[in-house]
């Protein structure tokens, strides 16, 4: 029975979602899989320090933009040095895993893992790199990768910037299984406590709950719509949302929840930051209002979402979110996207395996 090792990363939830999608598709084909967290492989102290630095960069306006566009994208010396430092810690841990598991395929869905996997000696496996960003930066694109999986032609061009001869497969973004079969609108609204005839907005910003979501949620609910506000794993944000909900009955707070497909089905509009949530909302057929709060790769992803249509953008200032949301609620929603069924992803992933002799 063939085996695959998937290397994810704990900065946000998107990497784990993509790893799970690959694992599901492989297991449907009779493979066994295991998934590891590259940040954990760095060691407890280094992994925690890396996440703390990344969060701090995002908290300082313009700092991560500068690092992303001036260092990560061109592959400046500072970025390559950081990658080399991480690689020195990852290679021994990955070597041990590979020697023990003997995989036929390794899939990196986290940039930090890419060069470390390619540096493993005596490789007896194929290596996929899977990135859903519209413009993968330099650390994603390393010599030795057998096939790059991306979700747009723009991303394929970004890969060829660094490796013009690279083998690339353009696939639809996979979704978590519940998004392929969401509840109906009436059922979802009953479950969320939203009246059938009310306007309803889903407000969320990734697993970290980035931005001033509590103030935006309260302002939106005060303006009239019911607001389903998801804090993700941000405990302080959840506390603030629940406090605001005690003053505003149209505000419905949530912490981390697996019920996002139902919340999207209940909503007329999804207000969120750029990321994999956008593909999920499009699959369910919901219009997007994008918060311009994710620096670096988030800027590129946001522009691509606008190009795809049925989306608008605002800053995260509460008054602008309210104005933008009320206007967007008056615009038509799209039909569910082609990604609303898993068939295209399964076919594309299967073709990718066949290209490297693993189909």
Percent of the chain topping pLDDT 70: 96
pLDDT reported for residue 196? 95
* Better pLDDT: 60 or 19: 19
The per-residue pLDDT of the chain, averaged, comes to: 92
Q: Residue 356's closest CA among 156, 99, 129?
A: 129
pLDDT digits (tens, 9 = 90+) for 132-172: 999 999 999 999 999 999 999 999 999 999 999 999 999 99
pLDDT digits (tens, 9 = 90+) for 234-282: 999 999 999 999 999 999 999 999 999 999 999 999 999 998 899 999 9
pLDDT reported for residue 17? 86
pLDDT exceeds 90 at position 62: no
pLDDT digits (tens, 9 = 90+) for 99-117: 999 999 999 999 999 999 9
Query: What order of strands is seen across the sheet that includes strand 105-108?
Result: 32-37, 3-8, 105-108, 126-130, 147-150, 168-170
pLDDT digits (tens, 9 = 90+) for 342-354: 999 999 999 999 9
Domains defined for the chain, CATH in brackets: 3-174+342-355 (3.40.50.2000), 177-340 (3.40.50.2000)
pLDDT reported for residue 183? 95
pLDDT reported for residue 251? 98
pLDDT reported for residue 269? 98
Global confidence as pTM: 0.91
pLDDT reported for residue 137? 96
Q: Looking at the chain, how many residues does it have?
A: 359
pLDDT reported for residue 9? 86
With contact defined as beta carbons under 8 Å apart, do 241 and 217 qualify?
Answer: yes
pLDDT digits (tens, 9 = 90+) for 214-242: 999 999 999 999 999 999 989 999 999 99
Q: Residue 314's closest CA among 163, 191, 203, 221?
A: 203
pLDDT reported for residue 46? 64
């Amino acid at each position: 029975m063939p085996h695959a090792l998937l290397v994810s990363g704990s900065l946000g939830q998107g990497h784990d979602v993509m790893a799970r999608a690959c694992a599901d598709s492989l297991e449907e084909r009779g493979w066994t899989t295991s998934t590891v967290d590259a940040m954990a492989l760095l060691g407890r102290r280094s992994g925690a320090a890396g996440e703390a630095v990344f969060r701090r960069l995002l908290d300082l306006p313009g700092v991560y933009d500068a690092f992303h566009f001036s260092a990560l994208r061109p592959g400046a010396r500072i970025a390559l040095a950081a990658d080399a430092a991480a690689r020195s810690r990852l290679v021994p841990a990955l070597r041990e895993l590979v020697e023990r598991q003997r995989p036929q395929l390794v899939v990196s869905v986290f940039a930090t893992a890419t060069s470390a996997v390619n540096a493993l000696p005596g490789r007896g496996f194929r290596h996929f790199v899977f990135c859903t960003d519209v413009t993968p930066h330099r650390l994603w694109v390393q010599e030795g990768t057998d096939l790059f999986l991306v979700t747009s032609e723009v991303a394929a061009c970004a890969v060829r910037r660094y490796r013009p001869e690279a083998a690339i497969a353009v696939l639809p973004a996979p979704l978590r299984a519940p998004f392929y079969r969401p509840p109906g609108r009436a059922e979802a609204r009953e479950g969320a406590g939203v009246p059938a005839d009310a306007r309803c907005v889903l407000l969320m910003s990734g697993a970290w709950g980035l931005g001033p979501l509590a103030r935006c949620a309260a302002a939106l609910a005060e303006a009239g719509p019911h607001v389903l506000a998801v804090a993700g794993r941000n405990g302080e944000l959840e506390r603030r949302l629940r406090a605001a909900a005690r003053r505003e009955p149209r505000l419905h707070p949530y912490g981390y929840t697996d019920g996002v497909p139902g919340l999207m089905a209940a909503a007329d509009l999804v207000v969120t930051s750029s990321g994999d949530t956008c593909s999920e909302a499009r699959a369910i057929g919901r219009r997007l209002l994008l918060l311009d709060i994710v620096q670096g790769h988030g800027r590129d992803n946001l522009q691509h979402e606008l190009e795809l249509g049925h989306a608008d953008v605002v800053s995260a200032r509460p008054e602008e979110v309210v104005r933008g949301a009320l206007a967007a609620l008056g615009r038509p929603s799209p039909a569910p996207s082609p990604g609303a069924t898993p068939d295209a992803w399964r076919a594309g992933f299967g073709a990718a395996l066949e290209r490297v002799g693993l189909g």
